[in-house]
Structure 1
Amino acid sequence: MMKPNPKSLILICFTLLTLNGVAQEFSQDSTISISGFILSDKEKEPIEDAIITIKRTRRGVISDSSGVFHLQILPKDTLVISSMGFEMIQWPVPAIADPNFPPFFKIYLKNQAVPLKEVNVYALGTYEDFKEEFVKKKLPPKKKKGEGFRLSEAQMFEIKLKEQARTPPNVVAGLIGLGSKIFKKKKKPQPVFSNEVNFVHQQMLQEKFNREIVTNLTGETGNTLEQVYAYICKNSNFTYQDCELDIQTKILELYKEYKLDPEKANSSLLQLKKKDKIPNHLRP
């Protein structure tokens, strides 16, 4: 009987161990297709659009409207499952006896309530309500920055005396005055438009400022409307370049002035007519 060669026995054992390790490694690296069902912990209802990701690769899928998902994984993978209104969990995949026929898993998520700050919701109303409220809103008083630095009459008189004491001779003063006239900034010439352009400008202004607009803003009609309209024309200098908001704001301001003393306003209009200085937008 032949004795076994020790070298042959060692080679056979090494081959068997190598094949066993390769088989185990192949079984660990082979992908498995699993399916599952995402449910709420309390209601046991399916959770739609739940996010299921593989922790190892950060890749995943989203559950459908029935809460079902399908995913390709490796054995011993861990799934990270999250959804709006539920606590996020890490779910290790259980050992699967037969990878060809994996079980249908059911995974439950606990409800999570996030308290929100109280919010008051108010109705804005219609656009016409907003427009009327915006036009009638009073502007805040303008703060004059120089009010805190205003000098008294005594202080002004003292400063005037000091200036007179330091006044240069007449020759120097004359040169200073001449220099101020020479280097005085010239006024920019005002543009001159043709009659056709002026007519277009007048039409643009009449669309922004007319009796109908004054009636809508003040509610006046008849003779009172004419007096209010004349008073506004006398105390305003609207141009076609003014925006509707500025014009309507000025109309309301002048209307309030008129209501404070209508007799005084009408008397000033009579004096204006006697001098034949009727504003252009009142002429027929």
Structure 2
Amino acid sequence: MKYFAVFFFVFISNVFFAQEKENGTLVNGIIKDDTTGNLLSGVNIINVNTVKGAISDDKGVFHLQAFANDTLHISLLGYKSIKVKVTNDWIKNKTTTIQLTQKAYALEEVVIRPYVLTGYLEIDAKLIPTRENYRYSISGLKEGYEAGEYSPNAFGRVLGSIFNPADMLYNFFGKKPKELRRLKEMKKDDTVKNLLASKFDRETISALLGVSKSEIAEIMERCNYSESFVKTANDLQIMDAISACYEEYKILKR
């Protein structure tokens, strides 16, 4: 019986060790306002390395699996987003306190410029700008959304980038294979998926893919998505669009 108890203890220890090695350690964090000290609930925390997410509760506490040196992207509406490195001390102590700083907003003057119409259909139709858009099935929308994958020159632009080292898509798709392979994984975590569906600032995408916001817009342009789509789509739809373009790129490259 004694030997069985020792064997059982060793077996359980090995199981926990294997799970921890595969999934990381469960770390805890408490998020506060750096000025008032108030606990912040509803804060979004994403492990950029594992693409897993969590949300802080009404006591500002969150729990998330992580490895040492993983990067956590922490964001909340009205606060400056930050990146925090998971240290060995954090893993050892299991918990740490993180402070967020409120954003200072400056109100800017907004000028609305209406179209000056004449009342004559033939003339007014030429005064109002029009765009030639294409339809695309994408996450979060019941109907097709305008985009550029099926436009006449979309195939040529993606194909051309494969043989042009100076092209934006060549550099992006060729130098970030790990980040792009995680695109599908991002949608498996409900916290990450819901966060992306609720945001339009490209900040989280920028953190997850390691590119700037301007580069995201350029990638969309190179994939032939319309300017209207890029400006109005949420982050999940943009992520889906990048994923679709990447899948097309991989097929053509073969």
TM-score, normalized by length of structure 2?
0.33
How does the TM-score come out when normalised to structure 1?
0.30
Q: Larger strand proportion, structure 1 or 2?
A: 2
Structure of greater Rg: 1
